[in-house]
Amino acid sequence: METPFTEPASYANFIQDIITEDLKMKKNEGRVHTRFPPEPNGYLHIGHAKSICLNFGIADRNRGLCNLRFDDTNPSKEEVEYVDSIKEDVRWLGYDWDDRLFYASDYFEELYRFAVQLIRDGKAYVCDLTPEEIRDYRGTLTRPGKESPCRSRSVEDNLKLFEKMRAGELPDGACVLRAKIDMTSPNLNMRDPVLYRIQKSSHHRTGDRWCIYPMYDYAHPISDALEGITHSICTLEFEDHRPLYDWVLDNIDIKYHPRQIEFARLNLTYTVMSKRKLRELVEKQFVSGWDDPRMPTISGLRRRGYTPGALRDFCDRIGVAKANSVVDIAMLEHCIREELNLGAPRVMAVLRPLRLIIDNYPEGLVEELDADINPEQPDLGKRKVPFSRVLYIERDDFMEDPPKKFFRLAPGREVRLKHAYIIKCERVVKDQETGEVLEVHCTYDPDTRSGLSTDVRKVKGTLHWVSAEQAIKAQVRLYEHLFTRENPEEDREGAHFTDFINPQSLEVLTDCLLEPGVAGALPGSRFQFLRHGYFIVDTVESKEGSTVFNRIVSLKDSWARLRQKA
């Protein structure tokens, strides 16, 4: 049966083109099999999300399979905690590897046997040069390499030495196994690259069984081939390694030969995107952990309030390119805003409260006013919001001595209270010593209740508010970019990326007041706080009786504005 290979335009990219062509040519018996191969040396970040969406997405769209494979060939930096977090993050993004969970360390025995084969065929040798000498002998782009004196070792000697390496009879760094390729190759990766090194450290899965570990460039192609991968998708920095990828597979006896395809990695403004740097932020406590809501990790974005759908949508929209570029972080924010505009119930929340008393409103009266749950979805109906004589409004929404363009509350001025009445400011009560405004006293016009037929008068400003007696208290955390520079990684004389951490990236507000309908909201629930943005009940620090909200994003959409201008 012929499979139709027409893709929706949004899926079109050069990798899909290659796969479509391969399917037409009946390459790989018509199979499509990809893999996502993280090294378990840190938590996944949004860049990895792009690779996950690409690999699992391509498999889905082409009736193929995608494996999850831990590239755990470097025992010193890897931990079980990272393995667990990576699995959780991939699943949370909405992808499933079924029974195809693999570890490069599962292949150590086979990798060893293939190395023995290379030695037997005269294509690998044990080299005693020190790491410094190896580097020096390798040459540079303009200077050809020099052959190691060990290059002419006999096959027998090489086999014996390699066995000794494996048996732990030689100390760390005593020698390495190298491929015998070409010391004059214009590609430095082909100048007798190292395949194995001695490292006497425990591995999180193989324990102390091995004291030699394969290098990535050797283990990766073989792991791919053993799993029958058809398209090995990786980032651009591996382009120069592709000849080595192919050399390894061409020189051993193995059934499959996957095709390596490189794409541009994702970079985001105001963000660092390497596990090493993210780990530094965690270890030096610039952030509270890998899941700090300011981190670009998947766990950080999840805690911040991003949804899997918004991240997948973002990865779709940025597309797949062959040249590196930097994506505006505003685009990521746009994706979650768009989703939550449709999905998040509306709430009034006063983050910095100022007491407001309506002097002519009956004492003890509580009216239950109607408000839309979400005006974008009228079918959801209304919620009730209590209104009474003592309210709180936002401190910023009142000015005693306002400039001309200030349309909010000021002495003698009128504003509308959202879903309620028009009020007029009559006087203020101040702290005798500091002069700080403690209370605003107003009168209300009973004929102006929202939705009533008598409600015809218009005023310029509309304020949100909560009723003092019924409001619930909460802590709210506001976030800004973690870095003050668009490109914190850019090399500047003597500067380190942590020099550009934004001291204002976290603001904690402890006395916020919310309308009572939010009481008991479960961790992970998302809301729009009118005029403030989208918020999520923190999943880590919210406790019974003390709710913590994280601001996901404000309402201001700089990305949408940019696009309108364009």
Report, as residue numbers or ranges, the catalytic residues. 39, 265, 275
Look at residue 265 and give the partner it binds from ligand ATP, Mg ion, none, a contact being a CB closer than 5 to 8 Å depending on partner kind: ligand ATP
For the segment 212-241, give every residue that binds ligand ATP (CB under 6 A). Answer: 234-235
Instruction: Please report whether residue 37 would count as binding ligand ATP according to CB under 6 A.
Output: yes
The piece of 181-189, 265-273, 301-309, 452-460 that touches ligand ATP (CB under 6 A) is 265-273
Instruction: Please report whether residue 47 would count as binding ligand ATP according to CB under 6 A.
Output: yes
In the complex, which residue's CB is closest to Mg ion?
A: 39
Instruction: Please report whether residue 60 would count as binding Mg ion according to CB under 5 A.
Output: no
Dihedral sign (CA 126, 129, 131, 136):
negative
Q: How far is CA 554 from the centre of its chain?
A: 18
Instruction: Please report whether residue 77 would count as binding Mg ion according to CB under 5 A.
Output: no
The Cα–Cα gap between 194 and 212 comes to 12
Q: Smaller CB distance to ligand ATP: residue 71 or 397? A: 71
The Cα–Cα gap between 566 and 562 comes to 6
Instruction: Please report whether residue 498 would count as binding ligand ATP according to CB under 6 A.
Output: no
Q: Smaller CB distance to Mg ion: residue 42 or 517? A: 42
Look at residue 455 and give the partner it binds from ligand ATP, Mg ion, none, a contact being a CB closer than 5 to 8 Å depending on partner kind: none
Q: Smaller CB distance to ligand ATP: residue 37 or 293? A: 37
**Is beta strand 506-514 parallel, antiparallel or unpaired with respect to 349-350?**
antiparallel
Contact 44, 89 (CB under 8 A): yes
Instruction: Please report whether residue 279 would count as binding Mg ion according to CB under 5 A.
Output: no
Residue from the set 13, 274, 288, 341 that interacts with ligand ATP by CB under 6 A = 274
Instruction: Please report whether residue 38 would count as binding ligand ATP according to CB under 6 A.
Output: yes
Residue 143 has what DSSP assignment? S
Long-range contacts formed by 333-337: CB under 8 A, 24+ apart: 333/553, 333/557, 333/558, 333/559, 334/557, 334/559, 334/560, 335/310, 335/311, 336/305, 336/306, 336/307, 336/310, 336/534, 336/552, 336/553, 337/534, 337/553, 337/555, 337/557
The piece of 39-47, 202-210, 411-419, 529-537 that touches Mg ion (CB under 5 A) is 39-47
Go through the chain and tell me how many residues it has.
566
Residue 504 CB coordination number (10 Å): 10
For the segment 275-334, give every residue that binds ligand ATP (CB under 6 A). Answer: 275
Residue from the set 7, 39, 455, 480 that interacts with Mg ion by CB under 5 A = 39
Contact 230, 22 (CB under 8 A): yes
Nearest by Cα to 478 from 515, 428, 512: 512
> How many chain residues interact with ligand ATP (CB under 6 A)?
14
Residue 297 CB coordination number (10 Å): 30
Q: Which parts of this chain interact with Mg ion (CB under 5 A)?
A: 39
| Chain contacts with ligand ATP (rule: CB under 6 A) | 37-39, 47-48, 50-51, 234-235, 265-266, 273-275
